[in-house]
């Protein structure tokens, strides 16, 4: 027993603060959006009525994200009070039964989007369900061998994914885009003819008055340029995966030095990735219309599988590297998850590219073939990702079963989050 004064639990305090900020900001934004949507819906104006539905959907999404912060806030408060919250168990059977309802939810949601009147007000709940249920099932699956898990760490990792990783990734990717834009402007400034072209382009965009079809016609000649296509592909298949795969398991990074086992790193990384996937998928399906709903809903299930799997793989690799002091496997795992993420983005990017660009032959034939094959390729990749998740789950938990658990003294326990 260590008689010295326990260190202040900085990580628990950070979790409490993050949960408070997440809860307050999410519910404030959600209530404002719901209020604006309700005013628009009952205003009697056709224009405001059209914009009311996405506002209401966004409002419900933010309220849901605020709910995610409540268990983390409760767990952190208990730990600061000196009490340990009860361990958490996720029922995989119940999650599996809910997962079986997802196809029905997608079909009914498509019918709701084609309906008129008050029935469409229920669409946000279908959108939320089609995102939350697959994520919940995957989290229950990857944590099952480790259950019961520590509630404070589980909800802390989820909150880091929702309220820390997501804005951090947006910030880093936004800064990257700004730097690239500055570089492009600096390059074009040395070419007066290009600057004149950009001035004409700006004038045409102003006259487009936000019409998507007109804007697409304006940008189409630019998007057909090979250098532009290569740049877009490089951003989404290289730079974005490099950033996201390094930051998604941030909950594991924050516990560096706590002697995590690979099994703990695995499920913590997966839960943190689930938080990020939850935000990304929620705001993706909200904009779906009747024609794109089913494709987008099914696609987001695959994307959720991608984010949870790659974050779990990285979390387990990080913990194993810290435990063994060997970092070769960590580097290889990072390259693997970046490659998988890049391949996913490339397949998603090629889907529909022929319709957008309207290129000449034979490029049109190539892109049309890619458009037809990409859904099947994405399905195969999603199944491969789940296979990797299952294999790694077995491997890290088998390794944990044969290794003796580290003995932690009171001074170390007091520092755990």
Same-domain check for residues 92 and 73: no
Same-domain check for residues 67 and 157: no
Kindly provide the b/e burial profile for residues 363-372, where b requires at least 16 CB atoms within 10 angstroms of the residue's own CB: eeeebeebee
The confidence score (pLDDT) of residue 49 equals 65
The confidence score (pLDDT) of residue 284 equals 93
Mean pLDDT by 10 residues, the chain (417 residues): 58 94 97 92 68 90 96 94 91 96 96 86 94 97 90 96 97 93 79 74 72 73 77 92 97 90 95 97 89 92 97 96 93 97 92 66 70 88 96 86 46 40
Domains in the chain: how many in total? 2
* Residue 298 lies inside a defined structural domain of this protein: yes
The confidence score (pLDDT) of residue 361 equals 54
**Which two three-digit tokens encode residue 319?**
């913990």
> Are the CB atoms for 269 and 312 separated by under 8 Å?
yes
Same-domain check for residues 80 and 93: no
The confidence score (pLDDT) of residue 366 equals 74
Same-domain check for residues 395 and 276: yes
The confidence score (pLDDT) of residue 206 equals 75
The confidence score (pLDDT) of residue 186 equals 80
- End-to-end CA, the chain: 20
* Residue 215 lies inside a defined structural domain of this protein: no
* Residue 319 lies inside a defined structural domain of this protein: yes
Among 70, 85, 100, the domain-final residue is: 85
Same-domain check for residues 107 and 170: yes
The confidence score (pLDDT) of residue 368 equals 76
* CA-closest candidate to residue 221, choices 356, 71, 37, 365: 356
Q: Is 266 exposed, middle or buried (0-12, 13-18, 19+ CB in 10 A)?
A: buried
Residue range(s) defining the domain that contains residue 62: 8-85
Among 30, 57, 85, the domain-final residue is: 85
Alpha helices in 325-362 (DSSP H): 328-350, 353-357
Among 34, 60, 85, the domain-final residue is: 85
Bridge partners (DSSP) listed for residue 149: 88
**Which two three-digit tokens encode residue 306?**
């991608």
> Are the CB atoms for 223 and 230 separated by under 8 Å?
no
* Residue 284 lies inside a defined structural domain of this protein: yes
């Amino acid at each position: 027993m260590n008689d010295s004064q326990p260190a202040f639990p900085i990580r628990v305090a950070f979790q409490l603060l993050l949960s408070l900020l997440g809860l307050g900001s999410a519910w404030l934004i959600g209530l404002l959006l719901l209020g604006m949507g309700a005013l628009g819906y009952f205003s009697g104006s056709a224009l405001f009525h059209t914009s009311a539905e996405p506002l209401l959907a966004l409002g419900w999404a933010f309220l849901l994200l605020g709910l995610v912060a409540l268990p983390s806030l409760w767990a952190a408060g208990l730990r600061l009070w000196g009490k340990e919250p009860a361990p958490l168990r996720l029922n995989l059977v119940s999650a599996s039964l809910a997962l079986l309802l997802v196809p029905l939810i997608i079909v009914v949601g498509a019918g709701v989007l084609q309906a008129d009147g008050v029935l469409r007000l229920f669409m946000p709940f279908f959108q939320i369900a089609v995102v939350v249920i697959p994520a919940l099932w995957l989290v229950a699956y990857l944590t099952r061998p480790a259950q019961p898990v520590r509630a404070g760490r589980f909800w802390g990792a989820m909150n880091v994914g929702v309220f820390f990783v997501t804005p951090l990734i947006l910030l880093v990717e936004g800064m990257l885009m700004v730097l690239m834009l500055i570089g492009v402007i600096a390059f074009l400034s040395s070419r007066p003819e290009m600057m004149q072209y950009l001035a004409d382009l700006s004038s045409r965009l102003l006259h487009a008055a936000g019409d998507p079809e007109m804007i697409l016609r304006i940008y189409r000649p630019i998007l057909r340029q090979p250098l532009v296509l290569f740049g877009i592909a490089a951003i989404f298949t290289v730079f974005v995966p490099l950033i996201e795969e390094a930051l998604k398991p941030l909950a594991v990074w924050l516990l560096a030095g706590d002697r995590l086992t690979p099994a703990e790193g695995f499920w913590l990384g997966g839960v943190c990735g689930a938080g990020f996937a939850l935000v990304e998928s929620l705001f993706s399906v909200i904009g779906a219309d009747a024609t794109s709903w089913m494709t987008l809903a099914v696609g987001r299930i695959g994307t959720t599988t991608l984010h949870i799997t790659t974050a779990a793989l990285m979390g387990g690799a990080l913990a194993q590297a810290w435990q063994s002091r060997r970092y070769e496997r960590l580097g290889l795992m990072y390259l693997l998850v970046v490659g998988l993420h890049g391949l996913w983005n490339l397949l998603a990017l090629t889907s529909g590219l022929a319709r957008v660009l309207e290129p000449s032959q034979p490029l049109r034939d190539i892109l049309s073939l890619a458009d037809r094959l990409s859904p099947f390729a994405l399905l195969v990749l999603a199944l491969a990702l789940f296979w990797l998740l299952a294999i790694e789950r077995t491997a890290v938990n088998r390794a944990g079963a044969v290794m003796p658990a580290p003995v932690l003294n009171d001074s170390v326990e007091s520092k755990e989050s």
